[in-house]
Amino acid sequence: MINLSVNINKIATLRNARGGNNPNLIKMAEDIQSYGAQGITVHPRPDERHIKYDDVRNLKSVVKKEFNIEGNPTPKFLKLVKEVRPDQVTLVPDGPESITSNSGWDTKSNLEYLTKIIKQLDDIGVRTSIFVDPDTEMVKYASETGCKRIELYTEPYAMNFSNGNKSIEQYVKCSNLANKLEMGINAGHDLNLNNIEYFASKMPYLDEVSIGHALICESLYLGIQNVVNIYIDKLNR
C-alpha cells in the first residue's frame, strides 16, 4: 500500500486571498482524511503566505492519520515542530524567497548540520525525512544523518514525463539504495493524475507520496473526494 498525504497549502492560499475562514482549512483536513487520504501535509513558510503557524497548531487535534510538516529547519520552524510533535517532519532546503521547493539537500556538505537537526527530532519521537534529488550519493549521505526516510524530488520526472520521456531509472536506483540502507521512501513535487500511476508502478519500496498543488487544481474539475480516491486507486494498481 502506497500512502497518499495531501498537502493543503493551496487551500490556505485560497482562504487567505479573501480573508476570513472560507474555505475552512480545518474542516477540509478532516474531510480529506474521511475521503481516504492517509495523511495531511503542511509546509509553513516564514512569511505565512499560505499555512500559518497557528494553522499547524490547530491541525494537530484534527489530523488523526499521519501529520507531516515540511520546512527548512530554522529555529522558528523547529520550535513549532517541538510544540506540535507531528508524526513526520520533512526537511526541505528552501529559502524564504522560494515560491516552492525546487531542489533537494546536498546531504554531503550539510551532513553535520542535518545530523544535529535529526538528533533533536529523534529525541522528541518525530520521524524525519530528508528531501533529496534523485542522486544516489545524496541518498547515501542522507542515511548517515540518521534520518528514517528520504523524499525524492520528482519535478525532473514530471517535466520529462510531460515531454514524452518516461525515464525513471535514477529514481529506481535511489529507491533500491534507500531500502538497502534501511530508509523508507517518500516522493513528491509535480506528481499528478497523468504521471502518478506510471511512477507508482515502477518504483520499488515506495511508502508515500505527498501531493498538493496538482491535486487541488484537479479537484476544481473533478471534486476533491473523487480525486483523493483516484490517486489511491492509481497508486495501488
Q: State yes or no: pLDDT of 98 exceeds 80.
A: no
Supply the pLDDT for residue 97. Answer: 65
Supply the pLDDT for residue 224. Answer: 86
Dist. CA 205–CA 172, nearest whole Å: 9
Q: What percent of the chain has pLDDT over 70?
A: 97
Q: What stretches of the chain show up as alpha helix (H) in DSSP? A: 9-18, 25-34, 53-59, 75-84, 111-123, 136-144, 155-162, 169-180, 196-202, 213-222, 224-235
Type of residue numbered 51 = I
Supply the pLDDT for residue 155. Answer: 95
133: its cell numbers: 534529488
Cell 513535487 sits on residue: 189
Supply the pLDDT for residue 103. Answer: 80
Q: How confident is the model at residue 100 (pLDDT cuts 50, 70, 90)?
A: low
Q: Is residue 150 within a helix (H) or strand (E), and if so which, with residue range?
A: strand 149-153
Give residues with Cβ within 8 angstroms of 172, minimum separation 6.
202, 203, 204
Residues carrying an active site annotation: 43, 70, 189
Cβ atoms of residues 37 and 64 within 8 Å: no
| pTM (predicted TM-score) | 0.93
Dist. CA 205–CA 193, nearest whole Å: 20
**pLDDT tens, position by position, 37-63:** 999 999 999 899 999 999 999 999 999
Domains defined along the chain, listed by start? 3-235 (3.20.20.70)
Q: What percent of the chain has pLDDT over 90?
A: 91
Type of residue numbered 230 = I
Cβ atoms of residues 184 and 178 within 8 Å: yes
